[in-house]
Chains A and B, each alone.
Chain A
Amino acid sequence: MKQKEESVELSRRQFIKTTIAASTSFLIAGSLPSLVKKAFSETPVEEKIDDVLKRHFGNRKIETAHVDLKAPIIAENGAVVPITVVSDLPMEKDNYVKKIYIYSEGNLQPYVASAELSPANGKAELALRIKMRKTSNVRAVLETNTGKLYQGLKSVKVTIGGCGG
């Protein structure tokens, strides 16, 4: 009798211990990705351009028009690629470009920068020097105050230099 009770008690203790241990480790395991993500929060998540665009614009239609992207055909140094976003879209009080998004599609994280503009800018034009990881398109998406989306792309060659550096 006693032995049987003992074994039941032990196994109950064991069961509780195991359950607590198991659930704790599940909790930790569940939160690990976010802990890891937090630790690497400075590092961008690797994303494909289509996913970034979906994240920024959902399923909205982006028209390839009204945006001219100026960039070198071959970047002399991929760490500093001078690009200029030029658009003929108006910048008037009720009709203006409210945001410019810039992407370097070959980067691990294609999103490079964005700029919220206002009619006070007078022109929807922005020049920036950006880092490009490899040969790919540079893309600029412009959003008007009425929610219309326009884009322009330019392909830039970026490869490893010779002895330049």
Chain B
Amino acid sequence: MSRGTLSRLIMFLLIACVISVIAPQNSVAEEIKEYTPNVSPEEYEKRYNKAFGEFTKKMAEEGNPADMLLDEGKELFHKVDGTQGRSCASCHGQNGEKLKGAATTYPKYDPGLKGIKTFAMQINICREKHMGAKPLKYDSPEQLALEIYTKSLSNGMPINVSIDGPARPFYEAGKKFYYTRMGQWNFSCALCHIKYAGHMLRVNLLSVNRNHADHWPSYRLEWAGTGSLQKRIQGCVKNMRAKTSELHSEEYRNVELYLTHQSNGLPIQVPGLRM
């Protein structure tokens, strides 16, 4: 081999090495080193009851301000809206009888969106496509009222979201986000809610994420109001001192799929009431 060819070959090999090192990894195919939950859901319940008792639970049973939205949602469901002279009940039946169980499979992959569709998005899609009605602003009182009512039709039924087929890469992306260190403190969701679940963080007991998705929309004492899981995710990211995205952004929808999958098998209980 001539000296010129050899030096060209070495150059080529060096460049190939550099490129292979700095080239972006296919992040979805990357394996995340998952944590083992520090406590089981049962152990977390035990610690929670020991610390706080059943007072918040009792407040939820006795008087949940979000129940008012449930009533409003029922009215909205039966109210005609939009250019086509229909109400939700026109297609879905009086008292939403055709929607029993519908909420158990959300969020889900939508081929039209080529991504994950949340229940709130489906309500807006229905309104625009089948009622000629304006989409409702996310986490506005009317949107929450309608979501609470329609979801409540599936109360008691087990959550059953799919992460198979086209949903899988989005589930993996959601899990990856959950494990991603972010913000001024370099926290990740998984750090508190899996690795250190069961520990006290100031006066909060870090919850394990088994039950995180089964009670939304929920009244939160902290908000003195009702909000969606999307809003809670956004709030958590803000609490971690990390940059937030819009409600129903791609990353938050993916996280919602991951979280809801964690709650698979648990009964839907809407609206919730939490600290």
Contact = CB atoms under 8 A, between A and B. Distances in A.
Interface of A: 72-74, 76-77, 79-80, 82, 129, 157, 159-165
Contact of B275 (A73, A76, A82, A160): A76
B12 interface: no
A72 B52 contact: yes
Interface in B95-152: none
B203 interface: yes
Nearest to B63: A129
B59 A162 contact: no
A164 B59 contact: no
B254 to A, nearest CB: 21
Contact of A162 (B53, B55, B56, B203): B203
Interface string B201-240: 1111010000000000000111110000000000110011
Contacts of A72: 52-53, 55
* Size bracket of the B interface: 20 to 34
Given A161-B202, A163-B192, A79 B55 contact: no
Contact of B204 (A73, A80, A129, A162): A162
Contact of A164 (B51, B240, B275): B275
Interface string B39-57: 0000000000001110110
Contacts of A77: 221-222, 275
Contacts of A159: 202-203
B79 interface: no
Given A77-B275, A165-B222, 12 more contacts: A74-B51, A76-B55, A80-B221, A82-B55, A129-B59, A157-B203, A159-B202, A161-B203, A161-B204, A163-B239, A165-B223, A165-B235
A165 B275 contact: yes
Interface string B174-212: 000000000000000000100000001111101000000
30 contacts: A72-B53, A72-B55, A74-B51, A74-B203, A76-B55, A76-B221, A76-B275, A77-B221, A77-B275, A79-B221, A79-B224, A80-B59, A80-B221, A80-B224, A82-B55, A82-B58, A159-B202, A159-B203, A160-B202, A161-B204, A161-B222, A162-B200, A162-B202, A162-B206, A163-B236, A164-B204, A164-B275, A165-B235, A165-B239, A165-B275
A138 to B, nearest CB: 13
